[in-house]
Structure 1
Amino acid sequence: MDYYRVGTLVNTHGIRGEVKVVVVTDFPEERFKVGQQLVLFKSPDATTGGITVTVAKAREQKGLYFLTFKGLDNINDVEGYKGWTIKVPAEALHQLPAGEYYYHQIVGLDVVTTDDEPLGTIKEILSPGANDVWVVKRAHGQADVLLPKIPQVIKKVDLDAGVVTVELMEGLID
């Protein structure tokens, strides 16, 4: 079965089993809603040996999510899961509208300019505010390029070819 990472359980919060989660999903309000089933894995690369939990309570604060799981209602129940990865099964992903993508579909794609110049590979996606920012790792130790996900910059995403075509605005590359 395929799983997709949606967060990392970074710490406990209080004594009633609440955990603090760093979110790495584009739909946290859906992924962490009450009743949602999540799978906890000790390692980010693991696909077996996960522990299925059900969200009992969820709240967002300052970009983090605080979750409580059914049946795990004190600090002793959850303390051992610090550092574990939170994933959802592939079946939990819904079809997106045209032009929308899941993070896992974008990370790893090659990036070229509209002049067909290779720029690098997307290594992560940041969500600092109004628009996501795609971080492009460049070759030969050059500084990463931060590309805002706006139509003026991201011109074409070809998942089949594994390529994103971008138009660089002035100042995006030093």
Structure 2
Amino acid sequence: MQLVVARIGRAHGIKGEVTVEVRTDEPELRLAPGAVLATDPAATGPLTIETGRVHSGRLLLRFAGVSDRTGAEALRNTLLIADVDPDERPEDDDEFYDHQLIDLDVVLADGTEVGRITEISHLPSQDLFVVERADGTEVMIPFVEEIVADIDLERQRAVITPPPGLIDDRAEIASARGESEADGPAEDGQR
């Protein structure tokens, strides 16, 4: 199985280094010197990582055969793709690879269907499930213990216990409050 593990950003300096937007929880494994990565677009790869280092909180990589700024700039926006064994699991039982979570059905604790995970968004503060609902809309669900109660890979589902308002439609919230959508919330306790 192939997974996107990073996107190449702008060139850094004049010796062929590039900034990298990491898209893996294990950059030390997937983006280590010596790793050979496929690319998208495919015409630019495969690329072999020669060196890697962190500078001002950003990962910088240099690839074999890319020794100047012009070569590095030509790689900008290229996706780096690693081959991953689909049965491989993180060491911690409470951790999951993105490919294990994509396409899981998302349900409430009572079994009510919410949607399907289409993407994992890795933000600095937390990860988010991007969930596509049956009507085609998307909802973002924080991947935190308080909300995601269970990940069941056998049954291919994620069970969530969301706080009020996280997945509710505006119409449903308004209906529960006894107001129409156009009314909006009452201000200053007045109606």
User: TM class by shorter-chain length?
Assistant: 0.7 to 0.9
Distance in 2 between residues matched to 1:4 and 1:96, nearest whole Å: 19
Q: Percent identity?
A: 28
2:146 aligned residue (148, 152, 156):
152
- Show CA shifts across 1:87-145 (max 9, x none): 22225x66432121101111221111111111111122223234322221223243x32
Q: Give the match for residue 115 of structure 1.
A: 110
Q: Give the match for residue 87 of structure 1.
A: 81
**Is 1:76 aligned with 2:70?**
yes
What 5-or-longer segments of structure 2 have no aligned partner? 169-191
- RMSD of aligned C-alpha atoms? 2.6
Say if 1:32 and 1:55, in contact at 8 Å, map to a contact too. no
Q: Number of residue pairs matched?
A: 166
Q: Give the match for residue 138 of structure 1.
A: 133
Say if 1:32 and 1:58, in contact at 8 Å, map to a contact too. no
What secondary structure does 2:99 align onto? helix
**Is 1:97 aligned with 2:96?**
no
What secondary structure does 2:19 align onto? strand
State the shift of 1:38 in Å: 3.3
TM-score normalised according to structure 1 size: 0.79
- Show CA shifts across 1:58-95 (max 9, x none): 22545x4221124422123333322221122225x664
Please list, as runs of the form range in 1=range in 2, the aligned pairs for 1:1-174 lying within 5 A after superposition. Answer: 2-33=1-32, 35-43=33-41, 50-59=45-54, 61=56, 64-90=58-84, 95-142=90-137, 144-174=138-168
Residue 158 to residue 94, structure 1, CA distance change in 2 (3 Å):
closer
Distance in 1 between residues matched to 2:73 and 2:122, nearest whole Å: 28
What secondary structure does 1:79 align onto? helix
Q: Of the two, which has the highest radius of gyration?
A: 2
Residue 152 to residue 95, structure 1, CA distance change in 2 (3 Å):
closer
Residue 132 to residue 36, structure 1, CA distance change in 2 (3 Å):
farther
TM-score normalised according to structure 2 size: 0.73
State the shift of 1:52 in Å: 3.4
Distance in 1 between residues matched to 2:131 and 2:89, nearest whole Å: 27
- Show CA shifts across 1:135-171 (max 9, x none): 21223243x3222222221112122322111111123
Q: Which runs of 4+ in 1 moved over 4 A?
A: none
Say if 2:44 and 2:75, in contact at 8 Å, map to a contact too. no
What 5-or-longer segments of structure 1 have no aligned partner? none
